[in-house]
Structure 1
């Protein structure tokens, strides 16, 4: 009888606040809800670890050439190219400086110069041979017989006229090339902010460099363009080994 009554009785409730055996799990604080997500968090860097950004002097400051004027052998490939293929060196410099029109004019002037120069050499050789022939005739015969030799005299006069004409033409082409290279050098200086803006003095300096040291000036310009094409920047301050 007692056993059946105990079986019909309900078990003690654990929801009672007064029960010593009840346990309620604490809720998650609202401040921490959603804080631990699967997305990675950015690392926290202390302020003293942040490196200051260096000022970009190359963007606004004065720049200089890749090499000095008389350090042509610092860039040996450019030096050899200027020595054996000056037309190619001049055209490459103009193309890299985005001045193709001047580059085409320089190539045309260079080809014309060497073409006329080859004829000038041949006429010079013929002129020297004619002078030698006239000297031989003068030694063998008297002066009057040499002067009366109209064929030899006309030949010498024609060769002498061609010699002087071709020499004048070569001088004009050389002067035109100097003017074109000065224009190209001024374009590179202004485009890449090379050197200080000295106005007329800067132009006179370019003229003096090209007229007196044509090959060295071309090597300097081509080396600078190659450096800019390779590295994307030019020197803003003079390097330690600037040669």
Structure 2
């Protein structure tokens, strides 16, 4: 299982949020470039970067920083946050980013997602952020009436190859991932699934790995020491 250390960017700094609440941010590193380099040096093989400013504004606010992070880390990088146009995707991918995550627009503009997948294939991932099983959009500010399972099935029909699923209610809470929902997704679709939200320990990563998932994202637990990069490397290697 591929494990992605997460770096969330706000105002040019690495931050962590609690349940996606922008008013409850904690700065974990003022230097995101150094953070990316540190993760890679400690064994990270792929980074997950979210432009939180971009998620709110609908444009790649932290693009230059992300480019520098990728250059410093020298490992693959997937990026999400406010990606709502083909021009943004073109720019990210042409600048060396390995995979782009389409989040809110996956629900609100399925034609855009379809066009992106048709043009770039596996370089496009779709993000599903949900609360109580219903999809959230616009930086988690709006909750729809669409089931996460229904949206996942629609994405599969569009030939999306990778879905990143975040349970908002668990994100940043260290209460453990939603194994039930991840297991339901694994049964519902046959594409690559990445779990996000709530990971609090090495045991959580091992439990996700046992579900047969393609990947998992580790954020807050990594910054506060509940999980070490050694844990990540060992769980990754044991899953292959």
TM-score, normalization by structure 2:
0.22
TM-score w.r.t. structure 1 length?
0.22
Higher relative contact order, chain-length normalized (CA < 8 Å, sep 6+): 1
- Structure richer in strand, relative to its length: 2
Higher helix share: 1
> Larger Cα Rg: Structure 1 or Structure 2?
1
